[in-house]
């Protein structure tokens, strides 16, 4: 087993204090009980000599430990997205692979497909994955499938057959055998209580490391919410979702609610997403930046973060959608951009089978917009130049030439975006912030950011914000929040890109 990144004595102190800052960063195996726990587990603190520490749940299970039924390791916050503090390339690649596994990628592909997705050979993936996590790719994937199945059995009313397939097992028999071998339990023995979920809704909880500036996070999403695909209300956020898996597109919706006392985000999914639960939960983690270490980010930003400690970097459920939003939003008000995006989604998105008044259709994907000529977008008010940029990005994404997701290389992705006519640095940086989750992206040409900071030139802006690297994207979110809170009833001001076409 590879050495722990954290000192064992430090880990034990975290366990003894139930320090939430370490939740999800490691797990503790307890030899006297044979189970492994999160550092925040409420049981009596085990003796030091009975504790061993592991970076991942898979590493703990490899040593024969079973997951604790009280603190439930499957509910621990995830690791940071690739690029959040991982200095070496091997670490970023391994974390990218782990994130894809967590989001159900291997339900439709094997190790070779996973290696191809992140752009390395299968042999190299196996080697760096073992070096980073101390387990093989298949061992890690097996643990994630079991932990998901455990969650579905505990938290939902899905049948055992549906649980087995949703968790990625090829058959119920295979699921039963693995569960019995690894945990010594049958599915029905694990399902201790009747689930509260109704047939058409699935409810989960995703943990985070406190604090969480939920109100400020909702404000950011609310200002940019698009009618027909998003809804804000009573401290909740809801939106439609389209996920491709198993040769078909699954349409549905999700609703998010903050449960502050338990430090979790309550996630409600429509029943139509039952077969793509890992993918849906993965998108929620990216959207809400649940791998964030607010103690590290806020300390680095200092006074800038004091008004909203725990502010997350709002991500995306779909990177292509963010790119389209960025292009449409160039040099026009946010309100005007929302109107155009709503028309685009209504005309070219997919309708939900069971829509609500607020959630009626999904945002169109790249394949759908490739089929729409730029001239047709003019009919809904999108200028021809922006339509051509959208069409060019859609063609590259649909062909697999451009990946707008957290495991994509940020500098290379931004360079490819800038090659598209009508896409400047503002657009590329904004996409890197939200679609790639890149923490150091910063749209320095942004009109609002320059106004708030009182900086007249791009060079001056770059010099000023250097103090916030490598968390400049979080700084931008705080500065936008400050502007939105203080502008009151003043008219919207344009967000400008000095390399885009003129406003119509």
Q: Kindly report the CA angle at 142 between 136 and 143, in degrees rounded to 5?
A: 95
Tell me how far apart the alpha carbons of residues 28 and 15 are, in angstroms, rounded to a whole number.
8
* Pairing of β 264-270 and β 230-233: unpaired
Among 100-104, 220-224, 254-258, the range scoring the smallest mean pLDDT is: 100-104
Tell me how far apart the alpha carbons of residues 480 and 495 are, in angstroms, rounded to a whole number.
11
Split at pLDDT 50, 70, 90, the class of 498 is very low
Q: In this predicted model, what pLDDT tens digit does every residue of 450-497 receive, in sequence order?
A: 999 999 888 899 999 999 999 999 999 999 999 988 765 455 544 444
Burial of 162 (0-12, 13-18, 19+ CB in 10 A): middle
pLDDT greater than 90 at residue 264 = yes
The candidate with the shortest Cα–Cα distance to 29, out of 64, 3, 5, is 64
Question: To the nearest whole number, what is the mean pLDDT of the chain?
Answer: 89
Taking the chain, what is the end-to-end CA distance rounded to the nearest angstrom?
61
Q: Kindly report the CA angle at 277 between 204 and 145, in degrees rounded to 5?
A: 95
Token pair 């909702």 is at which residue?
218
Tell me how far apart the alpha carbons of residues 365 and 162 are, in angstroms, rounded to a whole number.
28
Q: Which of 289, 318, 365, 446 is catalytic?
A: 446
Split at pLDDT 50, 70, 90, the class of 501 is very low
Question: What residues contact 95, with CB distance under 8 A and at least 6 apart?
Answer: 79, 80, 81, 82, 86, 132
pLDDT greater than 70 at residue 499 = no
The candidate with the shortest Cα–Cα distance to 500, out of 323, 319, 327, 324, is 327
Token pair 């998108």 is at which residue?
283
pLDDT greater than 50 at residue 138 = yes
Backbone φ and ψ for 238, nearest 5 degrees, come out as -135, 150
DSSP secondary structure, 370-414, as one string: HTS-HHHHGGGT--HHHHHHHHHHHHHHHTTS---STTS-HHHHH
Q: In this predicted model, what pLDDT tens digit does every residue of 293-331 receive, in sequence order?
A: 999 999 999 999 999 999 999 999 999 999 999 999 999
Q: In this predicted model, what pLDDT tens digit does every residue of 21-59 receive, in sequence order?
A: 889 989 999 999 999 999 999 999 999 999 999 999 999
The pLDDT score that the predictor gives to residue 189 is 80
The candidate with the shortest Cα–Cα distance to 299, out of 463, 441, 471, 482, is 471
Token pair 């700084």 is at which residue?
475
Region 279-284: mean pLDDT is 95
The pLDDT score that the predictor gives to residue 80 is 56
How far from 70 is each of 41, 43, 66, 187, CA to CA, in Å? Answer: 7, 8, 12, 17
pLDDT greater than 80 at residue 147 = yes
| Higher per-residue pLDDT: 95 or 357 | 357
The pLDDT score that the predictor gives to residue 3 is 38
Instruction: State yes or no: is 37 an active-site residue.
Output: yes
- CB distance 322 to 397 below 8 Å: no
Split at pLDDT 50, 70, 90, the class of 81 is low
Number of Cβ within 10 Å of residue 72's Cβ equals 19
* Pairing of β 66-67 and β 35-37: parallel
How far from 495 is each of 182, 403, 446, 471, 499, CA to CA, in Å? Answer: 54, 25, 6, 21, 12
In the chain, domain spans: 8-71, 89-155+158-190, 286-486
Give the class (CATH, top level) of 89-155+158-190. Answer: mainly alpha
Secondary structure, 3-state, 190-233 = HCCCCCCCCCCEEEEEEECCCCCCHHHHHHHHHHCCCCECEEEE
Number of Cβ within 10 Å of residue 247's Cβ equals 6
Q: In this predicted model, what pLDDT tens digit does every residue of 106-124 receive, in sequence order?
A: 888 899 999 998 889 999 9
The pLDDT score that the predictor gives to residue 2 is 40
Alpha-helical (H) ranges within 419-471 are: 425-434, 447-453, 458-465
3-class secondary-structure state, position 242: strand
Residues 368, 369, 374, 379: is their CA dihedral positive or negative?
positive
pLDDT greater than 80 at residue 504 = no
CATH 3.40.50.1000 fits 8-71, yes or no: no
The pLDDT score that the predictor gives to residue 184 is 87
The pLDDT score that the predictor gives to residue 88 is 61
Task: Give the alpha-carbon dihedral of 464, 469, 473, 477, to 10 degrees.
Answer: -60
Burial of 182 (0-12, 13-18, 19+ CB in 10 A): middle
Q: Which of 11, 37, 71, 288 is catalytic?
A: 37
- CB distance 414 to 432 below 8 Å: yes
Burial of 401 (0-12, 13-18, 19+ CB in 10 A): exposed
Query: Which residues make beta-bridge pairs with 268?
Result: 203, 255
Burial of 227 (0-12, 13-18, 19+ CB in 10 A): middle
Tell me how far apart the alpha carbons of residues 174 and 483 are, in angstroms, rounded to a whole number.
55
Tell me how far apart the alpha carbons of residues 379 and 377 are, in angstroms, rounded to a whole number.
5
The pLDDT score that the predictor gives to residue 104 is 87
For the chain, give the percent of residues with pLDDT over 70. 91
Tell me how far apart the alpha carbons of residues 168 and 144 are, in angstroms, rounded to a whole number.
10
CATH 3.40.50.300 fits 286-486, yes or no: no
The pLDDT score that the predictor gives to residue 470 is 94
Which element (helix H / strand E) includes 245? Answer: strand 236-245
Region 222-247: mean pLDDT is 95
Alpha-helical (H) ranges within 68-108 are: 89-102
């Amino acid at each position: 087993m590879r050495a722990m990144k954290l000192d064992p004595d430090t880990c034990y102190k975290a366990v003894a204090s139930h320090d939430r800052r370490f939740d999800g960063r490691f797990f503790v195996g307890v030899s006297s009980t044979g189970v492994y726990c999160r550092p925040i587990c409420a049981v009596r603190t085990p003796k030091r000599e009975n504790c061993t520490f592991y970076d991942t749940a898979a590493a703990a299970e490899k040593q024969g430990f079973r997951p604790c039924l009280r603190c439930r390791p499957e509910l621990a916050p995830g690791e940071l997205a690739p690029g959040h503090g991982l200095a070496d390339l091997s670490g970023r690649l391994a974390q990218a692979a782990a994130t894809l596994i967590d989001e159900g990628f291997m339900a439709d592909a094997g190790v070779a497909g996973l290696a191809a997705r992140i752009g390395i050979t299968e042999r190299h993936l196996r080697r760096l994955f073992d070096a980073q996590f101390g387990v093989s790719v298949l061992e890690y994937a097996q643990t994630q499938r079991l932990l998901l199945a455990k969650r579905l059995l505990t938290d939902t009313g899905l049948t055992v057959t549906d649980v087995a397939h949703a968790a990625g097992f090829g058959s119920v028999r295979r699921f039963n055998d693995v569960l019995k071998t690894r945990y010594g339990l049958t599915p029905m023995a694990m399902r201790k209580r009747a689930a509260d979920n109704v047939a058409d809704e699935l409810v989960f909880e995703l943990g985070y490391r406190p604090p969480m500036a939920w109100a400020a996070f909702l404000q950011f999403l609310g200002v940019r919410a698009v009618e027909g695909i998003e809804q804000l209300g009573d401290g909740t956020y809801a939106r439609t979702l389209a996920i491709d898996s198993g040769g078909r597109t699954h349409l549905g919706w999700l609703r998010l609610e903050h449960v502050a006392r338990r430090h979790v985000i309550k996630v409600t999914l429509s029943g139509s997403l039952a077969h793509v639960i890992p993918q849906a939960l993965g998108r929620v983690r990216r959207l809400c930046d649940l791998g964030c270490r607010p103690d590290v980010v806020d300390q680095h930003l200092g006074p800038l973060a004091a008004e909203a400690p725990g502010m997350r970097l709002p991500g995306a459920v779909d990177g292509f959608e963010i790119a389209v939003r960025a292009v449409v939003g160039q040099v026009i008000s946010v309100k005007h951009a929302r109107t155009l995006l709503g028309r685009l989604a209504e005309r070219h998105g997919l309708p939900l089978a069971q829509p609500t008044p607020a959630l009626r259709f999904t945002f169109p994907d790249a394949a759908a917009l490739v089929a729409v000529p730029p001239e047709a977008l003019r009919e809904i008010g999108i200028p021809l130049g922006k339509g051509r940029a959208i069409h060019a990005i859609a063609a590259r994404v649909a062909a697999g030439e451009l990946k707008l997701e957290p495991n994509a290389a940020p500098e290379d992705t931004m360079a490819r975006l800038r090659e598209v006519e009508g896409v400047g640095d503002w657009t590329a940086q904004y996409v890197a912030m939200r679609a790639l989750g890149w923490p150091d992206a910063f749209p320095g040409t942004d009109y609002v950011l320059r106004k708030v900071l009182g900086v007249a030139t791009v060079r001056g802006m770059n010099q000023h914000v250097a103090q916030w690297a490598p968390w400049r994207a979080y700084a931008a979110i705080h500065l936008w929040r400050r502007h939105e809170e203080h502008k009151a009833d003043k008219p919207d001001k344009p967000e400008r890109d000095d390399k885009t076409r003129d406003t119509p």
